[in-house]
Amino acid sequence: MYSGIIPPLVTPVDYKGNVCEQSVKNLVDFVRLYSTALIPTLSSGEGWALNDKQWEDMIRFTIKHSSELPVLAGVEYKTTEEVVNKAREAQRLGVDAVVVTTPFEKDITQDEIYQHFQQIKEVGVPVFIYNEEAISKNSIEYETIERICRLGNVVGIKEASGSADFTRRLVDSKLCVPVFQGWEHLCYQSKGVDGYIVPLANLEPKVCSEMLRDPTAEKQIGIDSLCKKYNILGEDWYVFLKKELQQRGIITTERVI
């Protein structure tokens, strides 16, 4: 079962907009020591904005330089059909799992959300549920998550609802599926989670690892300070991640997609 720190990697590109393999390698090398897996092409990787080549190259380069760390591909697309097709492509590339949102639709029903994940199951690749609202404009109710987990192919939940109470409910459940907090400012309130999938892990994987190992209010204050410093809780957090990584010499440019 998955646990620990799983960084949602930024997508480094050169001045022409191509994914920079050397920068991907540098980033993977930087976070590897404190990471248990890697997630390219999720929100911090601007997954919703990547073209097909960028999406595929980022996944391929991450797998190539992962040194056998599991690679979980982010799949952020509007419709079930698109997600299913990309899940198949990710499986062909050799990922260990895919991380998927619900369809991007404000008025979707919970049953339609369940059917979405039911269709993804047919691909045969393990799935992380990405529970969020910012991209999809909808949310998954607890009972729906229970139904989806019973499909048998769910290997983790990135819990980014923004509610510590909801996260704790998942942790205290008997779903037998690892739960990962997706918000830095809720780490201390989410004691008991199996791990963190947070943007800060691109910059401070050791800090994230130490917080998970021994969560304290004092460490939360430190994490909050870092998030403020790097503007990680802002709408364009990935812009500031790239700026800092470029200043550290880890990625070649700070260009966004």
What is the chain's alpha carbon radius of gyration, rounded to the nearest angstrom?
A: 17
pLDDT in tens, 131-176: 999 999 999 999 999 999 999 999 999 999 999 999 999 999 988 9
State the average pLDDT over residues 40-66. 98
Say what angle helices 237-247 and 217-230 make with each other, to 10 degrees: 90
Categorize the per-residue pLDDT at 31 as very low, low, confident or very high, splitting at 50, 70 and 90: very high
Q: Are 125 and 90 in contact (CB under 8 A)?
A: yes
% of the chain exceeding 70 in pLDDT = 100
pLDDT digits (tens, 9 = 90+) for 202-244: 999 999 999 999 999 999 999 999 999 999 999 999 999 999 9
Domain boundaries, the chain: 4-247
> According to the model, what pLDDT value does residue 226 have?
98
State how far the Cα of 144 lies from the Cα of 128, in Å rounded to an integer: 14
Across all residues in the chain, what is the average pLDDT? 97
Task: Specify the pLDDT at position 174.
Answer: 82
DSSP at 159: E
Q: For the whole model, what pTM was predicted? A: 0.97
pLDDT at 12 over 90: yes
Residue 250 pLDDT class (50, 70, 90 cuts): very high
- Give the separation between CA 200 and CA 61, rounded to whole angstroms: 21
Average pLDDT, integer, range 51-73: 98
73/215 Cα distance (integer angstroms) = 28
What mean pLDDT do residues 39-66 have? Answer: 98
Q: Which residues is 219 bridged to in the sheet?
A: none
Q: Which long-range contacts does 148-154 make (Cβ < 8 Å, 24+ apart)?
A: 148/113, 148/114, 148/117, 149/175, 149/176, 149/177, 151/117, 151/118, 151/121, 152/121, 153/120, 153/121, 153/124, 153/125, 153/126, 153/127, 154/117, 154/126, 154/127, 154/128, 154/129
Report the distance separating Cα 251 and Cα 245, nearest Å: 6
Contact of 3 with 195, CB cutoff 8 Å: yes
In CATH, the architecture of 4-247 is Alpha-Beta Barrel (3.20)
Give the count of beta carbons closer than 10 Å to the beta carbon of residue 244.
Answer: 20
